Structures are given as C-alpha cells and as structure tokens.
Chains A and B, each alone.
Chain A
Amino acid sequence: MTSEDCVAVCGGTHGNEMSGIYLAKHWLRDPMELQRSSFAVTPFLGNPRAIEKCVRYVGQDLNRTFTTEFLSSTEVEDEPYEVVLAREINQTYGPKGSAQAFDFMFDLHNTTASMGTYLIVDSEESLLPMHIPCPIYLYKLPGEETYSINSVAKAGLGREQLGPQPQQVVRADLFSQMRDIIACALDFIELFNKGTVFPAFEIEAYKITGRMDYPCYPDGEISAMVHPKLQDKDFLPLNPRDPIFQTFSGEEILYEGNTTIYPAFINEAAYYKKKVAFVKMEKHTFSIPGLQRD
C-alpha cells in the first residue's frame, strides 16, 4: 500500500448528529490537533444547509447519494439540494474511483442506539481500516453499490458511529470519545506512512446480514415497539424465540430466525421512516493479513 497523503474528516453529513458537527467546526477554526507530519488532513462540514436547520437532511439523505446514478447525472433545475452537494463533494474529494481521489475519509456520525463506539468499514478486504484499533463492523451487503460519502475516497469506508446520543444533542462524553478516536486513527496512519509494520492478526467483527422491520398496521403505522428486553442490547446475542417487540396492548413478539444474530442500530430514530427496527449481524473471525507501506 502506498502512503496515505490526503485524508479528509467530515462532520455533519446528517445535520442533527452533533458530535461530528461540533468537532468539525472546532477543527475548521483550529486545525492544529489534526495535523501530522506525513500527511494533510482536511476537515469539512458535509451538509451545511441541514446543519443550519439541525435536521438529518433537507431534500434527501446525503449519505445515500454517492452512487453513480446521482454523481454522473446531468444538472437539472429543481434537483434535491443533496444531489448538487454530492456532486460538489465528489469534485473536491474525488472523483470517486479515480487516481486523484483523497486517500481516506472519516465520516462522523451519531446514533440514538446504544452502540458505543464503532468503526464502519465496507468489507474485510479494506486492509488499512481493518487494522485501525477500534471495534469494527462490516456494512456492505454483497452486490450492493457503495453510496455513502466516504466512498468518494480511495481506501474503503471509515465511518465512526457513536451512541447513544439523541439527535440535536451534544454529550460531552461522546464528543471526547470521538475526538480521541480520530486522534488515534490519525496517529495510526502516521505510523503507517512512516513504514511501521503491522503484523497479521485475527479479529472478531460483526458483518451485516439484513434488516428487521417493525410490525405495522395496514395504514403503515408501526404497531409495536422494540421490546424492553432488546432495547439497548446492541451487539449482544439475540437467540431464536427471544422477545423483540411489544405491542401497545402488551403482547410480545418473538424472534423467529433459526440462528443467533447480533442486532445493531436498535431503535435508531432515523430508521423509523423506513420502518427498520434494527439491523441483523453475524459475528465472524477474520484473518487479516499484515500491513506495510510499499
């Protein structure tokens, strides 16, 4: 692998996920703490209009707009704000898939789910991200095109997910944690650039396998809530016949799968629109090859 020269850090891809927004604003005023000797780090705010209104997005989810379809479409009038924005970001930090693209991009997010700190990587084949010392989960379903903002950069997905934090709220503890993780990741890249050898190792990581929807009434309204026994149990084993939902009349709905899974994004506010209650994951052990700069 060649050295990482151009690294971008993005806060506010979703305008109501505050840790990244406050951090990015701080770094834009005072970039000292981001600097390393062997590479340049550029902080930026992903979705300025959504940030101003403190909402997830204005027209459509920016973090789903980095597909070929949107990026290569021609400009028309009345396009959603985020489509225009995605093309601009692709120009500045990409173009996606080209040699000029930034080497790496960290994208900072929060979740209302109790997920602690996770780095989201697209697949175990993204070697450098897999070496970063942080719990990891693997996000891309097989055959899916990448669509998120950091797919603009060369080296796979690097998305920090910190929770639980309500939308529009800044919690000091998560703010500090996110800051520390970015510092740690940048230190790692610095070490890599300087030629450090990172030996092969085994890692346990979670890999997404699907999504679990809320039960709904015929009119589309959800008819049950995440069960109290499942609430806040992200990344803990969910076994067949464990309760997953509770109706408003108090009945329990049980998990009907055949194998143990590991749910994440349990009760994420932004997923109600899509009626997704949680994301299903499997735990795998991966053998990660050693890493060294060419």
Chain B
Amino acid sequence: MDYIIVSILTQKNENSLNVSFSFMTTSSLELVLRNQELNILWKLTCFKGIKEASTALVLNSCLEMHCIFSIKALSLRQTSCMLNEQSLNQLNRMTSCYVVHEAPVRRVAIFGGTHGNELSGVFLVKHWQENGDEIQRTGLEVRPFITNPRAVKKCTRYIDCDLNRVFDPDNLGRQITEDIPYEVRRAQEINHVFGPKNSNDAYDLIFDLHNTTSNMGGTLILENSRNNFTIQMFNYIKNALAPECCPVFLIEHPNLKYATTRSIAKHPVGVEVGPQPQGVLRADILDKMRKIIKHGLDFVHIFNEGKEFPPCTIEIYKIMEKVDYPRNKNGEITAVIHPSLQDQDWQPLNNGDPIFLTVDGETINYEGDCTVYPTFVNEAAYYEKKQAFVKTVKVKLTAKGIRSSLS
C-alpha cells in the first residue's frame, strides 16, 4: 500500500466545514480534493512520510458536494483512487446536512377575525374574498377565511370564549352538546376544514392576522424554534421590510404556549400589528399587515420554485414570563402601566426601571437580575387574562438551509 489514511476530522462552522487529514505515505503523492463537477477544490503535494493537512471548505449554494479525494503518485506511474467509503460517507453527511429538503408548500390559508374586533385582518380577508388577485401565486392555493364570524358581526373579541385558546386536543375532541361554547364548536369546524391538526391532511401554512393595542409594530409570532421553514420565511420578511423593524416573538414555552387557531397547520405564522384600538381600522396599520403577507407569500412561491435558502440566524424575542397588574385583596387593579413603560414594547427593561404607577402617584420598579424586553404592554384584551406585559429575552435562532424537495 502506498498510503494509509490515519484520520479525517471535520468541524462544522456556520458557513464552512474544516477538514483535517492525517495520513502516512511511503512515496511522493499529490492529494486533490474535487467536487461533484470535478472542479478542484484543494490540492496538496507532499513527499513521503507522515503528513497532516487541513483545509476549510466553504459551503455556499452548492452544498451537496461529493468530495472526491484522489491521491496520485508523482512518479510516472499514476494512480488515482478514492478514500475508503466510510470516511467519504462521513464527509458527505457533514456537508449535506446543512440543507433540509422540505415538502413544497401548496395549501395556504389566511385567517382574519379570530378576534372579532381586530379589524385589519377582518377587512383584508373580506377584501381578498371579493378580489383575491393580490394573494395569488402560481403553484399555490391561498384561501382567505374569517374564523369567528359571529364575533366579527358584533365587533367583539369573542362570543363565549377566546377562539385563539381552544385548539388543544381536549377541546378539539370534545363531544358537541347543547351548551358547548360557540368558539369550541367553531374550532372543531375549522379543524375539520383546515386540519386535522397533526395529520398529513392539514394545511401547510396558515397566516393568522391580529391587531394589538400595544406598540408592537409588525410582529411575527413563531410557535416552534425548530421549524426551519418558518424561521427562513421570517428572515426573508425581515430583510424585505428593512430598515423597518419586524420583531419576531417566540411563544414556545412549557406553560405559556397557547393552542392557537393557526396551530392546526404544519407551519403556523402569527402576524400581530399594533398599536390599533379594538374596533378601529387604521390605514397605516392595514398597510403594514398587507406588506408582511405579500412578502410571506413571495417567499413561499420562491421556495416552491426551487430556490435554496442557506442557513440563517435571526435575532428573536423568547417569551419568559407574564407580569400581572398589582391588585388589592378584592382583585382590583391598583396601578397602571407607568408612562416610562407605556409604548416601549421591545425596548430593554432593566432592574430599577419604573413599570407601574399607583393612583396615589407611587412608582413600582422592575426587579430582576437581567435585562428583559417587554411586549404586549397594556394590551386591552389582556386585563382579564391578568397580563400587564410579557417579559422576553433576546436570543439568536439558527435555521438550517432549506430547499423544496420536488426541485
């Protein structure tokens, strides 16, 4: 044998793979690394002895490389041969796992009126039901839909209970009786049409449109930190809207996550735009929501057409804890959101910063050992849910590269 491969070590970085070889050779040889198209990526000439060498392979759009190492003797007798199969497979696995093949996204729904007094989604969906040109893309079915029509008619958040909290297995499987809350019955109907939740028949993607009285701008809500497709979409939308901010809010949490209407889809996307009072339709807020949907649909279309999206990292806000208003022993609220915190969603809140102001003029300060980023500050609908604001922390989330599996 002319050579022995002692080891191949690989180390993944964000966009590259470091490969280190060590081998032993009894005669001069040339080590060449080629990709699938047989382009030379790296070449090493060496003489007999024990050799160690390493190179960093930059991974870009051509991520699935088959690396062919050929080792040629430099003498007249030229031979080329592959490395043993095992190490080659290992190398392949290291490179190809950067790209996840995802099923193309064919069935998309856009939900408005999950809360009947959050008007941007209600009016956008009604408009698209009359004239859906704007939301059509080739290769996709996009269905606009009003989820809580009775609440929309009364311009109220809900009739019996919050529709956006009842898509859990218990409520979805509940027996229908006379006195079942309207929203539970409705949830089962919606699950029947767009689900069933957790099955293969469920819709691929649902955009659920909401407004908030909080100053959250155009926030995207993420349910699952490992959903590469959704994270890639959010990255795309953020870039498309830049320099305008588009915060991403991750609601994954063992206790605080709630069973949303959109959760019946494989890829649930929450769109929360504010500030807008309940029962009010602001043109600027509607426009912001409209742009988010446009870019979201563009992303789906481009993805379906075969574009590969390399791994990406985005900054997100992860839910930590809800904070209630101070209350007296009768349960009545005794302080309001402090003027310094009002409208400061997504801004850093540090230990000692004011958060509440009592009627007597006393300030209550935040006590915590790390900086948090509050959101849903003074949301009207959350007074009854005992939530003055929600604490989040800033986290970086990485998505693997994705590509449609049919291309």
Complex interface bits, B87-131 against A, C-beta within 8 A gives 1, otherwise 0: 000000000000000000000000000000000000110110001
Let me know if B336 and A167 touch, CB within 8 A.
no
**In the complex, what residues of B have CB within 8 A of residue A48's CB?**
none
Could you tell me the distance between the alpha carbons of A228 and B286 in the complex, rounded to whole angstroms? 10
Partner of B378, one of A169, A226, A249: A169
Mostly, the A contact residues are: loop
In the complex, which residue of chain B has the Cβ closest to the Cβ of A226? B283
Question: Which one, B140-148, B189-197, B229-237, B337-345, is touching chain A?
Answer: B337-345
In the complex, which residue of chain B has the Cβ closest to the Cβ of A272? B279
Partner of A166, one of B123, B127, B213: B213
Partner of B282, one of A221, A231, A249: A231
Q: How far is the CB of B333 from chain A (nearest CB, A)?
A: 8
Tell me, yes or no, whether A246 is within 8 Å of chain B by CB: yes
Q: How far is the CB of A95 from chain B (nearest CB, A)?
A: 33
Tell me, yes or no, whether B320 is within 8 Å of chain A by CB: no
Q: How far is the CB of A167 from chain B (nearest CB, A)?
A: 6
In the complex, which residue of chain A has the Cβ closest to the Cβ of B328? A29
Let me know if A168 and B336 touch, CB within 8 A.
no
Tell me, yes or no, whether A26 is within 8 Å of chain B by CB: yes
Could you tell me the distance between the alpha carbons of A180 and B282 in the complex, rounded to whole angstroms? 30
Partner of B342, one of A172, A221, A269: A172
Let me know if B283 and A225 touch, CB within 8 A.
yes
Could you tell me the distance between the alpha carbons of A167 and B275 in the complex, rounded to whole angstroms? 12
Q: Which residue among A173, A248, A269 has the maximum number of chain B CB atoms within 10 Å of its CB?
A: A248
Could you tell me the distance between the alpha carbons of A228 and B338 in the complex, rounded to whole angstroms? 29
Q: How far is the CB of B123 from chain A (nearest CB, A)?
A: 7
Tell me, yes or no, whether A292 is within 8 Å of chain B by CB: no
Tell me, yes or no, whether B256 is within 8 Å of chain A by CB: no
Tell me, yes or no, whether A164 is within 8 Å of chain B by CB: yes
Partner of A248, one of B127, B282, B342: B127
**In the complex, what residues of A have CB within 8 A of residue B282's CB?**
225-226, 231, 267
**In the complex, what residues of B have CB within 8 A of residue A255's CB?**
none
Let me know if A228 and B359 touch, CB within 8 A.
no
Could you tell me the distance between the alpha carbons of A215 and B332 in the complex, rounded to whole angstroms? 42
Let me know if A168 and B281 touch, CB within 8 A.
no
In the complex, which residue of chain A has the Cβ closest to the Cβ of B277? A166
Partner of A231, one of B131, B213, B284: B284
Could you tell me the distance between the alpha carbons of A2 and B127 in the complex, rounded to whole angstroms? 59
Complex interface bits, B280-308 against A, C-beta within 8 A gives 1, otherwise 0: 11111011000000000000000000000
**In the complex, what residues of B have CB within 8 A of residue A270's CB?**
279
Number of A-B residue pairs, CB cutoff 8 Å, is 83
Tell me, yes or no, whether B21 is within 8 Å of chain A by CB: no
Tell me, yes or no, whether B24 is within 8 Å of chain A by CB: no
Tell me, yes or no, whether A148 is within 8 Å of chain B by CB: no
Tell me, yes or no, whether B155 is within 8 Å of chain A by CB: yes
Let me know if B131 and A249 touch, CB within 8 A.
yes
Partner of A246, one of B283, B359, B383: B283
Let me know if B283 and A169 touch, CB within 8 A.
no
Q: Which residues of A220-243 have CB atoms within 8 Å of chain B's CB atoms?
A: 221-222, 225-228, 231
Tell me, yes or no, whether B357 is within 8 Å of chain A by CB: yes
Let me know if B380 and A267 touch, CB within 8 A.
no
Q: Which residues of A1-41 have CB atoms within 8 Å of chain B's CB atoms?
A: 22, 25-26
Tell me, yes or no, whether B263 is within 8 Å of chain A by CB: no
Contact status of A221 and B380, CB under 8 A, knowing A168-B278, A171-B342, A228-B284: no
Tell me, yes or no, whether A175 is within 8 Å of chain B by CB: yes
Tell me, yes or no, whether A112 is within 8 Å of chain B by CB: yes
Tell me, yes or no, whether B381 is within 8 Å of chain A by CB: yes
Let me know if A164 and B277 touch, CB within 8 A.
yes
28 contacts between A and B (CB under 8 A): A22-B359, A25-B332, A26-B359, A112-B277, A112-B279, A164-B277, A165-B277, A166-B278, A167-B277, A167-B380, A168-B380, A170-B336, A171-B336, A171-B337, A172-B336, A172-B338, A173-B339, A175-B336, A222-B281, A225-B123, A227-B283, A228-B287, A231-B283, A248-B123, A249-B131, A267-B280, A269-B279, A270-B279
A residues in contact (CB < 8 Å) with B: 22, 25-26, 54, 112, 164-173, 175, 221-222, 225-228, 231, 246, 248-249, 267-270, 272-273
Q: Which 6 pairs from chain A and chain B are nearest by CB?
A: A166-B277, A269-B279, A168-B380, A248-B127, A166-B213, A112-B277
Given contacts A112-B279, A166-B276, A173-B342, list 14 more A-B pairs with CB under 8 A: A25-B332, A26-B359, A112-B280, A165-B277, A166-B275, A166-B277, A166-B380, A167-B380, A172-B337, A172-B357, A175-B336, A228-B287, A248-B127, A267-B282
